[in-house]
Each structure stands twice: as C-alpha cells, then as structure tokens.
Amino acid sequence: MSDIAWIERTLTGARPQVVSALLRYFRDLDRAEEAFQEACLRALRTWPDKGPPRDPAAWLIFVGRNAVLDTVRRDSRNTQLPDDAAISDLDDAETQMSDRLDNAHYRDDILRLMFICCHPDLPATQQIALALRIVSGLSVKEIAAAFLVNEKAMEQRITRAKRRVMDADVPFEAPGPAERAERVGAVAAMIYLLFNEGYSASGGEVHLRAPLCEEPIRLARLLLRLYPSEPEIMGLLALMLLQHARTPSRLDAEGNIVLLENQDRTRWNREQIGEGLALIDKAVRHRAPGPYQIQAAIAALHDQAPNAEATDWTQISLLYLTLERMTPSPVITLNRAVAVFKASGAKQALELVKPLEDRLGSYFYFHGVHGALLKELGQVDEARQAFNKAISLARTPAEAAHIRQQLDALAGPMKAAQ
C-alpha cells in the first residue's frame, strides 16, 4: 500500500476532493493548487516510510492548508491573518476534518469545484482548459498539446480563466434544489467536453488520449455518486464508457484512423461495454429520456452488433431523429445523415447534408461525409473538392491521412480508365 504507483494513483484520485476543500478555505484557485502540491510533496516524502494515513484526502487537506498558512505567516510576519472563522468552517483537528468528509457540505465542495470550472463567464475552450488543470491536474504542456497550441499560449489562457472566475466573485454556497438540475447539467456538459477533447485527438500525442478520456469518466463516476438518481448522469457515464471501449481498435499500427465499420471488435473492452449497457437499463427505468441517454443508446447499438453488417442503422437513424428534436443541431443532423446513408442510401442522405453547408462549412467532418456521399453517387469531381476541403480543416495528421486515402481511392478508377 505504500508503493509509489499506489501513492500516485491515490493523489490523483484525491485531487478534486482536496483542491475543492482548500478552495473553500482560501477562496483562491492558485493558493488551493499550491496547497495541494505542497501536500503531495510531503506525501511522497513520508508515506513510503510511514505508510498511508487512514484517510488520505483528509491528511492532504490538513497538511496542505497548514503548509500554506505557515508560508503566509513567514512572508507576512507583520500582517495579522484573518480569523479562521471568517475564511473557513474547517476545524484544525485532522480527525474532525476527516469526520466532515462524508457530510453534505463536503460533497458540495466537489461539485463547487466543477461548477467554478464551467462558469458561464468563460468561453467553452477556457472551461475545458481550466477543468483539465484544476480538477484533473494535467500539466500545462499536456493541455497545450491537446489543444494544439504552445505552452505559453495555454498558460495565458488558463491564467485568464482563473482571473475571470475570481473577478466574478463566484458564490461558494451549495446549489439549492431549484438550480440543481441546471447546474448539474452544466457540469455534465463540461465533463463530456473534456471527454471529447481526448476522444477526438486520434492522431495527436497518443499518450495524451488515455488521461483525456479516462479522467472525465472518473469525474462522471463521482458525479453519479453524488446524484445517484439522475438518469442523464447515468446516460453520460454510459455514453463515455461505450465509446471509450472502442479505443484499442481506433488506430492501426501506423497511427491511421480505422473507421468503426472496419475495427476489430474483438479488441473492444467488453467490461466497459457491459457496464455501459447496465447503466442504460437503469436510466431507462426512470422514464425521463434525455440527450445523453439517447446518445448512449446509439453507442450501445454499435457496440452490441457482432459485426458492421449487423448494425441496426434504421434504429440508429430514428434515435438521431429523436435527439435532433430534443436538441436541434446541424452536427446531429449530419450524424443522422450518416445513419440514413447506411440504412437507405446515399441519395437520401445527401438531401439532408446539403442544407448544412452554410452552418458547417468550417467543420472537418461535414466535408468528409459530404465527400463520401458524393463518391458513393459517382460524382467524382465534387467528391474531390469536398475531400480537399476536409484536408484543409483536419485537426490532426491522422484525420488528414484518412481523407487522403479517400482521394487515392478516387484517383484509382481514373488511372485505370486512362
């Protein structure tokens, strides 16, 4: 229990709990992070010899808080610190602090940290970056690589996000019943955005994909423990598990994208698929369908099909139609067009895709789907134009390589005709 690998896993797992409690104490994101880092350093120095404490999270909160207070006292010998009661309701005793970890105030701390990261004053990109840094603890270098920007730019982005949150004077009280559903929904959206950052980075730094996908799954598990009767949180976790289960077969040995229909399904993670299916069944019993549940049902139909040919594309197209009615979006319509293509043919799908060009003209996947439909209908020149546009919008080398394969397939018949 005292080996370094276990300690590192424990520190990572405790991060949201510890940082959120320290944030409530210090009212400062930077200081809360500083306190957590100091506590982690002391844990790495002491736990291997003395063994882990009874409650690692309580120990980290206690040590981190006192370490920063000691630093403040040294740096401000002539400045009287505020009374503890004015800045925190945490007691000084580690035992009493540990006892508080299971009550509602502490659980609210964890949600509060997530709520702060998805504060409405922040653009979505800053929300994701701040959550990856504060909640998940990824390094600025890792986050910068995920966003395809340099470290300095990402450091500035995170700093601006912190400043905006603190300047907004976000209240630290727990969400009341009236606003709970809305705020939990915002947190769920933030978690899924985090997941998508990892899941869509197919051709980026491969070692980044695991933390960028697995961390949101861990946060969703935490959120579900806090709100175990919320069917949409069940749907969110199920959706991510069912999608993440395909990770081992999404790239080939050279790092090229493998389409879902060509993936080796024997490599899919059956344990994750089973957990996702069980969560969907549980959510359905609540009879309160929502977008995450619908998307999870779509993912389940893919994962349950023994092969690509057995996929129930008609049912998937109907589910996308339901999702489109719930949350109208051109991206959802684009996904429905793919399902319609598989179920009814390219001509009917193209009728759905064409009106989307004005809204999705800068979207890589739109031009890839558009090109594939045109190719299927034999419109070679138009397909080539669409594929070239997709390459110009590709976010990763793997995406660009995949489209080049489509262009090569178009060139083949022309060479044969010559």
Render pLDDT for 263-285 as a digit per residue (tens, 0 to 9).
Answer: 999 999 999 999 999 999 999 99
Query: Which tokens hold the place of 234?
Result: 């069940």
User: Using CA of residue 328, residue 331, residue 334, residue 339, what is the dihedral sign?
Assistant: negative
Count of C-beta atoms within a 10 Å radius of residue 387:
26
User: Rounded to an integer, what is the distance from CA 197 to the centroid of its chain?
Assistant: 6
Count of C-beta atoms within a 10 Å radius of residue 102:
9
pLDDT-derived band at 73 (thresholds 50, 70, 90) equals confident
Structural Rg of the chain based on CA atoms: 24
**Rounded distance, CA 68 to CA 316, Å?**
54
Closest CA to 299 of 323, 331, 330, 325: 323
The end-to-end CA distance of the chain, in Å, is: 69
pLDDT beyond 70 at 400: yes
**The pLDDT of residue 203:** 41
pLDDT-derived band at 173 (thresholds 50, 70, 90) equals low
Contact present, 365 and 334 (Cβ < 8 Å): yes
Instruction: Give phi and psi for 58, each to the nearest 5.
Output: -65, -40
CATH topology for 106-168+180-227 is: Arc Repressor Mutant, subunit A (1.10.10)
Tell the burial category of 80 from Cβ atoms under 10 Å away from its Cβ (0-12, 13-18, 19+). exposed
**Rounded distance, CA 147 to CA 198, Å?**
10
Render pLDDT for 111-166 as a digit per residue (tens, 0 to 9).
Answer: 677 777 877 778 877 888 888 888 777 788 878 866 767 899 999 999 998 888 87
Closest CA to 194 of 114, 122, 254, 249: 114
pLDDT-derived band at 80 (thresholds 50, 70, 90) equals low
Contact present, 23 and 113 (Cβ < 8 Å): yes
**The pLDDT of residue 207:** 32
Report the amino acid identity of residue 220.
A
Q: Is 251 helix (H, G, I), strand (E, B) or coil?
A: strand
**Rounded distance, CA 323 to CA 299, Å?**
13
pLDDT-derived band at 371 (thresholds 50, 70, 90) equals very high
Tell the burial category of 349 from Cβ atoms under 10 Å away from its Cβ (0-12, 13-18, 19+). buried
Query: Which tokens hold the place of 336?
Result: 């429905």
Tell me the mean pLDDT in the region 179-183.
Answer: 61
pLDDT beyond 70 at 346: yes
Looking at the chain, how many residues does it have? 418
User: Rounded to an integer, what is the distance from CA 250 to the centroid of its chain?
Assistant: 18
pLDDT-derived band at 206 (thresholds 50, 70, 90) equals very low
Better-scored residue on pLDDT, 315 or 30? 315
Tell me the mean pLDDT in the region 204-212.
Answer: 49
Contact present, 377 and 350 (Cβ < 8 Å): yes
Contact present, 57 and 158 (Cβ < 8 Å): no
pLDDT beyond 80 at 66: yes
**The pLDDT of residue 414:** 41
pLDDT beyond 60 at 59: yes
Better-scored residue on pLDDT, 169 or 143? 143
**Rounded distance, CA 191 to CA 220, Å?**
7
**Rounded distance, CA 57 to CA 43, Å?**
11
Tell me the mean pLDDT in the region 348-360.
Answer: 95
Tell the burial category of 335 from Cβ atoms under 10 Å away from its Cβ (0-12, 13-18, 19+). buried
What average pLDDT is seen over the chain? 82
**The pLDDT of residue 83:** 55
pLDDT beyond 70 at 102: no
**The pLDDT of residue 24:** 80
**The pLDDT of residue 370:** 96
Better-scored residue on pLDDT, 19 or 128? 19
